[in-house]
Structure 1
Amino acid sequence: MKVLIVGREYPPFSVGGIATHTYYMVKHLRKLGVEVTVVAFGDPRASTDSEVFLSPASSLMETGATNLYKDLLLTWDIARLTSFTKKLLHEKHFDIVHVQEPYVGGLVTYDDRKVTTIHTTGIGDVKSILKTAGSPNPQVFKKTVFYVSLGYFMEYASIFTSKIIIAPSYICKQELVNMYKVHPSRIVVIHNGVEVPLNIPSKEEARKILGLPKDKVIVLTVGRHIPQKRVDLLIEAIYRIDKSVRDNVLIIIIGRGSETSFLIHLTEKYKLSDIIKFPGSVPHEEVWLYYSASDIFTLTSDKESAPMVLLEAASMGNAIVASRTGDYALMMRNGIDGLVFEPGDINTLTMFLEKLIVDADLRHKLSKNAKLFASRFTADKMARKTLKVYEKLITSK
């Protein structure tokens, strides 16, 4: 079977979790004997016979502030990707085309052999952004305008031209049914899966490699700095924790985005710069070192679908503290697999963090159970379920 996968990002040119998801899926589809070709944006010099990168003219691969001129070139990049993909489909025989991001691949068509994965809906993200308190941000404003205009059109285009829609969570499926009026029979839920790299250093070794203190409780969060991630809640919670407890902790906030400057300013305002560190964007292979070095992983989002970072952290034995959003947090047994709080509930988040920081036995218990929870969601399972979707599509013709 030959499959063409089309998206915005693919390692080593990554922006968010979709690149990681695609990498895991491609790797394990290939292990199952599927011949996979990937088309995405990146440095063309890194292209191979099976992974082709187009140089972006627009800001679509940028995570920080962008200028209007490059923003306006987004339609040009979409047109280039669409044209290149159609040419590739014409020249080579593929059994399936799988669009990983409808915002760039919505206009790609391939008879009844197109599959689209919608990881999160634009309208759902807009609702989350509008609910998030905070001062106006030009980048957030531009993203909102995109979601309700070109993004909305591209989502519908990909839905309309696809035989099957894959959603990584039941929450995403519900949004597609309720907001986009997609018939439930066209949607297949396949949860994300992860693969722990071999030979990850131990906690002690990872801390030594990263230059982190060996005697602190390390709290980690990983993700784009955008409003709906609510990283400000973590900073606020740390500020509220008793100072005697706070002196024993180090907070690491990996990522960058439109909210990074605000988060750094908030840290400085609370005089927490000594214990809250911002490494910026970190290569994915290095993120695993941070997982290994950490004790607690937090996810404070107002909205999630099926966050890869939660699974990755849990698979490394981090005790999980997460807001009750996205399928994984909803599946977790509170107090057993992790500690789960309602989105925006700063008081409960503060209480959970303080409890975990001082209680090593509780951290150990949640660490053990987090590993068991994450073991249910492997990259191999994700790839096998995706392959079944492809086979169903081919045999139904």
Structure 2
Amino acid sequence: MKVALISSGLVPVPPKAGGAVEEYVFQLAKHLRLLGVEAFVVDSIDKNISIMDYASGVPIARIPVRILHNFPKRNVAKEFLFGLYSAKSLKMMDVDIVHANTAWAGFAISTSIILRNLDKKPKLIYTCHNPLWPEDKVHFGEYVVRYAEGYTMRKADAVIALNKTMLNAIVMKARVPGPKVYEIPNGVDTDFFKPGLPGGGVLEKLRLTEREYVLFVGRVTPIKGVHILLKAFETMISENSHLGIKLVIAGPLTGRFNSSGVSDYAKTLIEYSRRKLGEKVLFTGSVDRETLRILYSNACCLVLPSFAEAFPLVLLEAMASGIPVIGSEAGGIVDVIQNGFNGLLFEKGSWKDLAEKLKVVVENGDLRDRMGINARVMAIRRYSWYSITERIRKVYLRVLSR
């Protein structure tokens, strides 16, 4: 079985400083190969010629996709063209499965005449990572995305939904037949993310102390609810001045992992934290994976205050690192956090509720340790890439047998 896994074409695979979809594509390809599947990744490259690259034994076909910098909706255009060029490059590769993962690359592949007219037409699998499908009120741009993504999922031979809520939304709103939608969550590399990693120079450089900081990981954007976290942290500190805890916000200060600079939203939050909390809040910007796993492993807990999530990889990475997780009651978060077992849930958008939950975890060391142990065990048993990959491989085999 030969499988081509299609990335977004926007963030290089493997990702070095964030990119959940790209991490999913890379880890799936890596673990499929361990199961004997001939899997490879198709990614973009900002050059004039295609190259075959390798990372951790995973072949990565990098194909040229170039867009003018002043082109409107440049990322959308690049992703769509990347999908078209991917279809063209796959024409001579005799693949059995094409596994797409993003709206515009998937749309380009599903509408491609090139793949449709092959004598041996490859089967199309689509994993939906879009967290907004369960939401009823969305902006106009999301309706456009839903049109493209819905078309792709209806054309696909199988669709993978990351959680039950998303599965139901896909069936109802995208009109995808239920029997071809499979609920399979994200996976996590439990060998890479693990407890007990020495802080070394990372914590020293950032002026952090083991277990004395709360961690947020992700893009600093409104949908991630970072402003809710800041207000909750400020409330907890003001009411409990004896706590020597800090807040670390690790991730891009823009809306995308492949963007640089600082958004207006991030600037507002940075200024707010300086005025209200001084040195108790640290915005690191994007960090590399080695730094990230050390930050996880030595944190007091991870907080994810998002307003919408599909199946957040950061929760799995934190759990694999042996720390408790606090998350909003949004999307796939409620499928991961068992309240009081591996972490705590709080009311979506409520900084008051989050402040209370933060205080419980920060002040109760025994509870924190117990939830951290449970989190690690759950990550290994339920979300290890070894078990997730086997479930996806079975979907491939089922589709090929039809």
User: Which TM-score bucket, shorter chain as reference?
Assistant: 0.7 to 0.9
The question of whether the paired residues in 2 share the 8 Å contact of 1:58 and 1:77 is answered with: yes
Equivalent of 2:330 in 314, 321, 325: 325
Q: Which residue of 2 aligns with 1:390?
A: 396
Instruction: Write the letter of the residue equivalent to 1:108.
Output: I
Using structure 2 for the length normalisation, give the TM-score.
0.84
Inter-CA distance 14–83: structure 2 relative to 1 (3 Å threshold): farther
Q: Which residue of 1 aligns with 2:372?
A: 367
3-state SS in 2 of match to 1:92: coil
Q: Which residue of 1 aligns with 2:215?
A: 220
1:115 aligns with 2:125: yes
The question of whether the paired residues in 2 share the 8 Å contact of 1:38 and 1:51 is answered with: yes
Q: Within 2, Cα distance between the matches of 1:327 and 1:73?
A: 29
1:181 aligns with 2:175: yes
What does the per-residue CA deviation read over 1:45-76, in whole Å, with 9 as the maximum and x for residues that have no partner?
874172123455459xxxxxxx8x34434464
Q: Which residue of 1 aligns with 2:62?
A: 53
Inter-CA distance 330–74: structure 2 relative to 1 (3 Å threshold): closer
What does the per-residue CA deviation read over 1:57-110, in whole Å, with 9 as the maximum and x for residues that have no partner?
459xxxxxxx8x344344642453233222222211101111011222212144
Q: Which residue of 1 aligns with 2:260?
A: none
3-state SS in 2 of match to 1:106: helix
Q: Which residue of 2 aligns with 1:11?
A: 14
The question of whether the paired residues in 1 share the 8 Å contact of 2:325 and 2:344 is answered with: yes
Inter-CA distance 207–334: structure 2 relative to 1 (3 Å threshold): farther
Q: Which residue of 2 aligns with 1:39?
A: 42
Inter-CA distance 269–46: structure 2 relative to 1 (3 Å threshold): farther
Q: CA deviation at 1:285?
A: 3.1
The question of whether the paired residues in 2 share the 8 Å contact of 1:107 and 1:157 is answered with: no
Q: Which residue of 1 aligns with 2:118?
A: none
What does the per-residue CA deviation read over 1:217-239, in whole Å, with 9 as the maximum and x for residues that have no partner?
11101011222210111110111
Instruction: Write the letter of the residue equivalent to 2:370.
Output: K
Instruction: Write the letter of the residue equivalent to 1:224.
Output: R
Equivalent of 2:295 in 262, 271, 290: 290
RMSD over aligned CA atoms reads 2.6
Q: Which residue of 1 aligns with 2:189?
A: 195
Using structure 1 for the length normalisation, give the TM-score.
0.85
Q: CA deviation at 1:214?
A: 2.8
Q: Which residue of 2 aligns with 1:94?
A: 95
- Residues 106-145 of structure 1 correspond to what in structure 2 (within 5 A)? 106-109=107-110, 110=115, 111=121, 113-120=123-130, 122-124=132-134, 127=137, 144-145=139-140
Instruction: Write the letter of the residue equivalent to 1:227.
Output: P
Instruction: Write the letter of the residue equivalent to 1:210.
Output: L
Q: Within 2, Cα distance between the matches of 1:217 and 1:318?
A: 12
Q: Which residue of 2 aligns with 1:168?
A: 162
Q: Which residue of 2 aligns with 1:104?
A: 105
Inter-CA distance 42–268: structure 2 relative to 1 (3 Å threshold): farther
Instruction: Write the letter of the residue equivalent to 1:356.
Output: V
Instruction: Write the letter of the residue equivalent to 1:3.
Output: V
Name the count of aligned residue pairs: 370
Q: CA deviation at 1:123?
A: 5.0
Q: Which residue of 2 aligns with 1:206?
A: 199
Inter-CA distance 220–74: structure 2 relative to 1 (3 Å threshold): closer
The question of whether the paired residues in 2 share the 8 Å contact of 1:43 and 1:53 is answered with: no
- Percent of aligned positions with the same letter in both sequences? 25
| 116-125 vs 84-93, greater mean Cα deviation | 116-125
Q: CA deviation at 1:329?
A: 2.7
Q: Within 2, Cα distance between the matches of 1:315 and 1:378?
A: 9
Q: Which residue of 2 aligns with 1:138?
A: none
Q: Within 1, Cα distance between the matches of 2:248 and 2:153?
A: 38
What does the per-residue CA deviation read over 1:163-199, in whole Å, with 9 as the maximum and x for residues that have no partner?
1111111121121122212121120111111112459
Q: Which residue of 2 aligns with 1:137?
A: none
Q: Which residue of 2 aligns with 1:248?
A: 244
3-state SS in 2 of match to 1:191: coil
The question of whether the paired residues in 1 share the 8 Å contact of 2:163 and 2:335 is answered with: no
Instruction: Write the letter of the residue equivalent to 2:248.
Output: I
1:267 aligns with 2:273: yes
